[in-house]
Structure 1
Amino acid sequence: MSTPASALGRHLLAEFTGCEAAALADLARVTAAMLAAAEASGATIVTHSFHHFSPYGVSGAVIIAESHLAIHTWPEHRFAAVDFFSCGDVDMDRGLAVLKAALGAEAEVRLELERGPLRTLNP
């Protein structure tokens, strides 16, 4: 979905609940799922970085030419917080659907924001 003409970017905050705990604790699996989500959205991947916390949990981000896709996981709560921001024409819905399936999430709640509203200099 494209960014509205009235904003510089679209920002989706997603909360995945009822996820597979093992998936959320697996650095390689979270990394692969995030890269697959970015690819499925049509975003241009620039780089990525992920970190496994002790005793569990993964945080990381995929930097895309259009902005970023980030995640923080809590395997002990079967919960993942996802942040997808884009100033380009990417299909965030498709990307998040791929990520939701990869993490085995039972439910998802989203908050959508328009970022950086465009304004005229002379009102």
Structure 2
Amino acid sequence: MKALGRHILAEIYGCDEEILDDKEYIEKTMVNSALKSGAEVREVAFHKFNPQGVSGVVIISESHLTIHTWPELGYAAVDVFTCGDTINPWDACNYLTEKFKAKNMTATEVKRGIFEQPVSVKVSNI
């Protein structure tokens, strides 16, 4: 069985609160995490919330990385989705955990697009 992609859902706890509320730092770190994993960055969009928190996405040729932070809780929710066999999404998650000065990270890997046999698609006009 071959998967089209790997999707890491990371829960990053015990992070430095100031880091998680710094839009520029989060953006730079997310881009660097993509590069560290071997991905090719295409587009970047981040938003700073009032009174706190940052959300953003890094679009990569191989798919995407996303984040939403809760600085007041020292928590970041991160998704790293990569397609193909050349990128290791765990490298990005581990890098983020280190750069956020996290005390703990738990994550689940989901294989996306698993096909056991060739797939045929029937299209009908409705």
Q: Which residue of the other structure, out of 75, 79, 82, is the alignment partner of 1:79?
A: 75
- Any stretches of 5+ residues in structure 2 without a counterpart? 120-126
Any gaps of 5 or more consecutive residues in structure 1? Answer: none
Amino acid at match of 2:67: I
Letter in 1 for 2:17: A
1:43-74 per-residue CA deviation (whole Å, 9 max, x = no partner) reads: 01001100000000000010000000000000
Kindly, what percent of the aligned residue pairs are identical? 42
Secondary structure of the 1:105 match is: coil
> Equivalent of 1:67, from 47, 63, 77?
63
Identify which of 98, 101, 105 aligns with 1:101: 98
Secondary structure of 1:117's counterpart equals: coil
State yes or no: 1:10 paired with 2:3: no
Q: Which of 25, 33, 39 in structure 2 is aligned with 1:37?
A: 33
How much has 1:121 moved relative to structure 2?
4.2
TM-score of the superposition, structure 1-length normalised?
0.91
1:1-46 CA-partner distances (Å, limit 9, x unpaired): xxxx521111000000000000000000100110110010000100
Larger CA Rg, structure 1 vs 2: 2
Native 8 Å contact 2:80 2:92 kept in 1: no
Indicate how the Cα distance of structure 1 residues 121 and 39 shifts in structure 2: closer, same or farther if over 3 A, else same.
closer
